């Protein structure tokens, strides 16, 4: 009997259909991930142009300004990269849990608390070697950020609390805690107009990459993206996380440790955002102050969604949005547009990208599975 059953199937033997698994098919599958977001961005830019024209502004002039502000010179490229650097890390704070099916939008809270923790631990360590202090600051930032978002994961897993709302509310709490501390117990009395912690000291600042006006935090962000990609796509942990994110019931019935995965991934995600805060303190601000909460955590959400939660795709997307951020002041000065115009553009892009999500698998020349539609 065991030999008989394979012969009794409907239809012909099931050789792999080579015409749908060849090079062309592979190219099509890979092209889908570029073509659809690119088309969505074009549609978004078109809609934004209509918005500008309604304001009697020239879209062309606008995009020229962005080009010059973001990419036009070595200085502006460095400026864009500086803006992109924290976005790499805050986007990972969204992308990693997203692969587990969790929508976490509270990276801002982990960033400010991570920055605050890094600034506060630097003071008592004064006098120790540079790398020790920097390492301790990094650990403190990552740990606090990780715990902050890890709490969100724990609430989700153990109590069923919606992680999106929880992370957003926790972000508000995190910002409030930071403001409370820098205006109270941790305030440097010398910071009069802008409440801040004591400066970490010039000896412990993160410097620039040689030959550029961009700090080393950019490298940390790039490394984090590559490591995250490897974690998700190449390790068994990442595989288990992708199964859980795709179908939690299938993961449970296979006995995969869904709870541990949620805790681990939310912790790592928060740690990256906390690290972003530490880098902002050590490389940009020099102390922890209210400028930490300048929206990198929220722009990171946009970056992660534009990159479709793929850590490698985060790199170019973060650079693009960093450029848009960087050209904000230029737009204000040259075109008389309010600062918020950039946010309108980002919002429109966000919406078109979200809409484009429904197109995956439906466009025939990008999906080999539709090429010869079999009936069964």
| Residues near another protein (CB under 8 A) | 1-2, 4-11, 13-14, 16-17, 20-21, 25-26, 29, 234-240, 242-243, 245-247, 249-257, 361, 368-369, 371, 373-376
CA angle 251, 254, 258 (to 5 degrees): 40
Contact in structure between 59 and 48 (CB atoms under 8 Å): yes
Minimum Å gap between C-beta 250 and another protein is 5
Q: Which residues of 343-372 are buried (b: 16+ CB within 10 A; e: fewer)?
A: bebbebbeebbeebeeeeeeeeebbbeeee
**Alpha carbons within 13 A on the beta-carbon side of 127:** 2
Tokens of 194: 């802008």
Q: Cβ 289 to another protein, closest distance in Å?
A: 41
When the beta carbons of 226 and 250 are compared against another protein, the nearer one is 250
Contact criterion met (CB below 8 Å) for 344 and 331:
no
- The smaller minimum CB distance to another protein, of residues 193 and 236, is found at 236
CB of 142 to another protein, least distance (A): 21
Give the shortest CB-219-to-another protein separation in angstroms: 24
> In the complex with another protein, which residue's Cβ is closer, 8 or 56?
8
Question: How long a stretch of residues is the chain?
Answer: 376
| Comparison of 11 and 210: residue with beta carbon closer to another protein | 11
In the complex, least distance from residue 157 CB atom to another protein, rounded to whole angstroms: 14
Q: Is 198 left (phi over 0), alpha (psi -120 to 50) or beta?
A: beta
**Cβ proximity to another protein, 254 vs 329, nearer residue:** 254
Task: Write down the residue that tokens 């440097």 correspond to.
Answer: 188
Following CA atoms 72, 73, 78, 83 in sequence, which dihedral angle do they give, to the nearest 10 degrees? Answer: -30
Least distance between another protein and beta carbon 255 (Å): 3
Q: Which is nearer to another protein, 3 or 56 (CB)?
A: 3
CB of 123 to another protein, least distance (A): 38
Q: How far apart are CA 369 and CA 17, in angstroms?
A: 10
Q: Which is nearer to another protein, 215 or 308 (CB)?
A: 308
Q: Give, for 368, the enclosing helix (H) or strand (E).
A: none
What is the number of other CB atoms lying within 10 angstroms of the CB of residue 33?
15
């Amino acid at each position: 009997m065991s030999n008989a059953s394979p012969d009794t199937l409907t239809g012909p033997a099931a050789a792999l259909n080579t015409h749908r698994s060849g090079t062309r098919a592979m190219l099509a599958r890979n092209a889908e991930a570029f073509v659809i977001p690119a088309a969505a961005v074009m549609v978004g830019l078109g809609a934004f142009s209509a918005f500008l024209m309604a304001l009697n502004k020239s879209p062309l002039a606008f995009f020229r300004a962005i080009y010059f502000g973001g990419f036009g010179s070595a200085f502006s490229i460095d400026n864009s990269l500086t803006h992109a650097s924290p976005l790499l890390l805050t986007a990972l704070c969204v992308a990693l849990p997203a692969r587990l099916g969790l929508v976490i939008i509270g990276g801002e809270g982990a960033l400010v608390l991570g920055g605050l923790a890094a600034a506060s631990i630097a003071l008592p360590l004064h006098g120790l070697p540079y790398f020790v202090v920097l390492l301790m600051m990094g650990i403190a930032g990552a740990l606090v950020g990780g715990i902050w978002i890890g709490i969100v994961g724990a609430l989700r897993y153990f109590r069923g609390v919606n992680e999106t709302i929880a992370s957003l509310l926790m972000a508000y709490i995190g910002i409030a805690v930071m403001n409370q501390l820098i205006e109270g117990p941790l305030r440097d009395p010398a910071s009069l107009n802008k409440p801040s912690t004591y400066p970490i000291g010039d000896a412990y600042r993160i410097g620039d990459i040689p030959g550029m006006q961009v700090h080393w935090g950019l490298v940390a962000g790039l490394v984090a993206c590559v490591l995250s990609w490897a974690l998700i796509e190449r390790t068994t942990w990442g595989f288990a996380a992708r199964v859980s994110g795709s179908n939690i019931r299938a993961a449970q019935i296979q006995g995969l440790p869904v709870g541990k995965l949620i805790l681990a991934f939310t912790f790592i995600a928060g740690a990256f955002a906390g690290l972003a805060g530490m880098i902002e303190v050590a490389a940009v601000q020099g102390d922890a102050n209210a400028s930490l909460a300048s929206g990198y955590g929220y722009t990171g959400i946009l970056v992660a969604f534009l990159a479709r939660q793929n850590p490698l795709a985060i790199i170019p997307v973060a650079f693009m949005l960093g450029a848009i951020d960087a050209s904000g002041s230029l737009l204000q000065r040259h075109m008389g547009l309010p600062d918020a115009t950039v946010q309108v553009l980002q919002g429109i892009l966000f919406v078109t990208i979200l809409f484009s999500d429904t197109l995956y698998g439906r466009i025939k020349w990008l999906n080999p599975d539709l090429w010869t539609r079999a009936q069964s």
